[in-house]
Structure 1
Amino acid sequence: MSQIPFKIPCVILSGGKSQRMGEDKSLLPFSSSNSLIEYQYNRLKPYFSDTFISSKTNKFLFLNDTSKIILDENKEIYSPILALETVLKRFNKVFIITVDTPFVKIETINELIKNSTNYDVVVARDRDKIHNLCGVFSKECLAIINNMIKNDIHKINYLIKNSKYKIIDFEKEDEFLNINEKKEYEKALNIIK
């Protein structure tokens, strides 16, 4: 594996509405952690030069260092594009992952970072779909993002298709399990046992 910690920062997106869950999924207990976000943050922190959480508000009781929280500039609209805009104003290149994908392996992250040298966006794909918010994003995307926001376009796939991008295929079952609903949360709890 390449040098650990990775030379780019990691940002965990944790500012969604959690509508399908019916409550803030980032704050649900997970494994031996008090919350899913605490689990994801502590799991990834040793592997990166720096690790941050992107959110609408500071709701993270476990995190004493508030400099690790990147608050969205736009508080009213829930959109990962707006979160990416805020993040990419701060970093030249960053690994992005969502709070609700706690099983993405470090080897997978390494593969994505390793392949990001000549691309503005590098994301993962498994047998089912492209995981638009599991990958490396560079500041070169900002012009496209600004144009998207001006035109009220909030689809990450639009950003990817209009960038210099690469998609990396992975075959690992359940690695990209996305915890959106109660049944997925129960499945994730069973896996983590």
Structure 2
Amino acid sequence: MVAPGWKHACTPVSATVSTTILPCVRTWRGWRPALVERRNAVSEKLKVLFLCTGNSCRSQMAEGWARHLKGDVVAPYSAGIQKHGLNPLAVKVMAEAGVDISTHRSKTVEELGDVALDYVVTVCDHAHESCPLFPGKAKVVHVGFDDPPRLAAGAETEEEALGHYRRVRDEIRAYVETLPDALASVQ
């Protein structure tokens, strides 16, 4: 039986997933079970780390959006190669969008300890180039976003600076909205 609203169904590809027929998504390889459905079938959230240089802005926004929009299927984390402190303008533009990241703190990858990550999403080029090796099955995905502090450096007013932060905030939201299915095709 196919779930209501789904036109296609297929059987699970893993022995760890129940034997019920799951809804599918079409990928370039053909029809495959929707990742979100496979994860729900085994009652497990996808552990995703958003990694940037200083864990002050982009990775914090991504963690905030993931927790806010996808907290039912994704267990989000954020960290940096270094820690630069939480950017107050990032906090401000996220609050404008209804997401409170004011209690987040800047942390390094080492502070995550032994979290068994499924994916590491690098959100800046420096983090992608400097990305440490992660034990286990973690797959690294690069999705680069502009650096709001760098863009805002030449701004003459705070409002002009906030415009850069808002644009990047919205781009990160658009990416997070595609999770977890966007990660399903990563090899």
Which one has the largest radius of gyration? 2
Q: Specify which structure has the bigger relative contact order, considering alpha-carbon pairs within 8 angstroms and separated by 6 or more residues.
A: 1
Q: TM-score, with normalisation over the residues of structure 1?
A: 0.29
Using structure 2 for the length normalisation, give the TM-score. 0.30
